[in-house]
A = this chain, B = another copy of it.
Amino acid sequence: MSLLEVSLLDRLDPALASHIRRIEHFKQSLTLLTWDSRTGAPSKGLVQGARVRSTIKHELFLLQRDPEFGRLLHALSEKTSEDPLVSRIAAYHLRSFQLANSIPIKEFQAFANEQSQTSVVLAEAKKTSNFALVKPYLERVFDYHRKFSAYWGYQDHPYDAQIKQFDPDVDTATLDQVFSELKSGLLPLIQRISRASKQPDRSIFAREFPYEQQRELATRLIQVIGYDFDAGKFGETLHPFSSAISPGDARVATIYKRDVRVSALLALHEAGHSIYTQNIHPQLVDTGLGIFTSYGIHESQSIFWEKFIGRHRGFWEQNYGLAQSLFPEAFAGVKLDDFFFALNEVRPSLIRYEADDLTYNLHIIIRYELEKALLEGSISVDELPERWNDKYEEYLGIRPANDREGVLQDGHWISGFGHFATYSLGFIFAGQLHGQLVKDKPDFDRLVAEGRNDVILDWLRSHVHQYGSSKSEYELLRDITGGEIDTRPLLSYLTRKYEDLYELQPSSQPAINGE
């Protein structure tokens, strides 16, 4: 499939092209309006702003379910087009058309309304660590999820319908499989690390890291990995996110925590998302395909830059000098090796987005297991906080003292089930991409250590980014690795890296030496 130089929409019926353009422009408006609401919109305007976005969202929904649009799409997809990009555009929009038509308008509106109320109440509940406050809201929202799974349809498990909203190629059976592999690979490794005699100096990142310098460091680091400031904006927010408006406008909003380690990695993570968007082929803009192909692949890009580069020793050979010059007191006399070891400390904790490489997936698995049970109806919302805490105790050996640092910490469940799972999928995919990259560029480690992130970005651009969603998740994977989703490259990478760091005896478990 090659991306030609003429506008792709010109190959379509003009009425269809114009309708698609409207849909895409509505999406881009919504992304920008949402960016604004989360990066400094005034408090007194938030409620009205939410009303405005909900109108635009509703108009978008109406455009997507428009009968005449459906007719044109069906007509197009029935012609056996010789142009695979045109077929892809038709298939992409036909799917949204079908999804949008599967839900009665009134229910869609009622759900949207329930969602915005729940967001407000959840924020309040979190502030006061009061789960009871948000419980009835969550019950109603989860009822909608169950109902929508039925509307959307699924083959084996209602969760299929949920995960496919985020990653259309993935199903529940696959998730069960990969999560089980991750658990058996990671749990013993985390155990061995907790008993290791060599441990990092935790005091390093407990020091003072002034805000202005943290911002300077984050700005410099995302520049180093290739974030284009002329095609984006770097702002601040409460919950870091990236805004994929268009390749010319891919923004990053981050937050600065007390611990500069968290701040730096969050910035690299969100910039990784936006670097993906910035490098999508411009010819795909406004077709529907000018965006990340799935949440899993999107996450693979953020995780790649955050974890495979930002936690790489070579990266810090390049950038530790900068960090030292910005934080001369905190890092005075701290050797690169000690800094690097502390940066990669493995230590079970309660807050997902501050987690280390190894425990991170367990945070996700806990959420996956709970949301599947909620969807099946095998646990009730009432039981949720206790079940959450039990699982933290089981998998991570720690128990939240309250629901604020437990089940109330994220808001993802308001929009649907399945979003969390894509975080681990992204990690697995990033492992596969890294595995292939190391084969294609055997001097990978040296490239990182010499700051040649441009070579790495070129590889990602040509193998992943440029295609936007003109290739599906599994098509990308197959074209790059020749295979399917595979946890082995990730487990093998993590095992080697952390055995080395903690000076453990190399493991002999076959599951994690498969690669």
Assembly of this chain: how many copies? 2
A56 partner residues in chain B, CB cutoff 8 A: 25-26, 29
Q: A40: CB under 8 A from chain B?
A: yes
B28 touches A231 (CB 8 A): no
Which one of A76-84, A124-132, A180-188, A242-250 contacts B?
A242-250
A230 touches B25 (CB 8 A): no
Within 8 A of B (CB), among A260-288: 285-286
B42 touches A33 (CB 8 A): no
Complex interface bits, A313-333 against B, C-beta within 8 A gives 1, otherwise 0: 000000000000000000000
A41 partner residues in chain B, CB cutoff 8 A: 233, 249
A449 smallest CB distance to B (angstroms): 31
A47 partner residues in chain B, CB cutoff 8 A: 248
B42 touches A230 (CB 8 A): yes
A22 partner residues in chain B, CB cutoff 8 A: 55, 59
Contact of A48 among B44, B229, B246 (CB under 8 A): B246
A7 smallest CB distance to B (angstroms): 12
At the interface, is chain A mostly helix, strand, loop or mixed? helix
Q: A32: CB under 8 A from chain B?
A: yes
Residue of B nearest to A54 (CB): B25
A109 smallest CB distance to B (angstroms): 11
A29 touches B28 (CB 8 A): no
Contact of A248 among B25, B28, B44 (CB under 8 A): B44
A44 partner residues in chain B, CB cutoff 8 A: 228, 230-231, 247-249
Complex interface bits, A20-62 against B, C-beta within 8 A gives 1, otherwise 0: 0110011011001100100011111111110110011001000
A51 touches B25 (CB 8 A): yes
Number of A residues, CB within 8 Å of B:
38
A240 partner residues in chain B, CB cutoff 8 A: none
A285 partner residues in chain B, CB cutoff 8 A: 48
- Identify which of A21, A44, A49, A230 gathers the most chain B CB atoms within 10 Å of its CB: A44
Complex Cα gap A248–B44 (Å): 5
Q: A406: CB under 8 A from chain B?
A: no
A46 smallest CB distance to B (angstroms): 8
A59 partner residues in chain B, CB cutoff 8 A: 22, 59
Complex Cα gap A28–B48 (Å): 10
Complex Cα gap A32–B28 (Å): 13
Q: A232: CB under 8 A from chain B?
A: yes
A245 touches B55 (CB 8 A): no
Complex Cα gap A285–B48 (Å): 9
Complex Cα gap A285–B29 (Å): 21
Known: A33-B33, A231-B42, A285-B48. A55 touches B248 (CB 8 A): no
Residue of B nearest to A51 (CB): B25
- Known A22-B59, A48-B249; 18 more pairs at CB < 8 Å: A25-B51, A25-B55, A25-B56, A26-B56, A28-B52, A29-B29, A29-B56, A41-B233, A42-B231, A42-B232, A42-B251, A44-B230, A45-B231, A45-B245, A45-B248, A48-B248, A49-B245, A59-B59
5 A–B contacts from the bound complex (CB under 8 Å): A26-B55, A45-B245, A47-B248, A48-B249, A59-B59
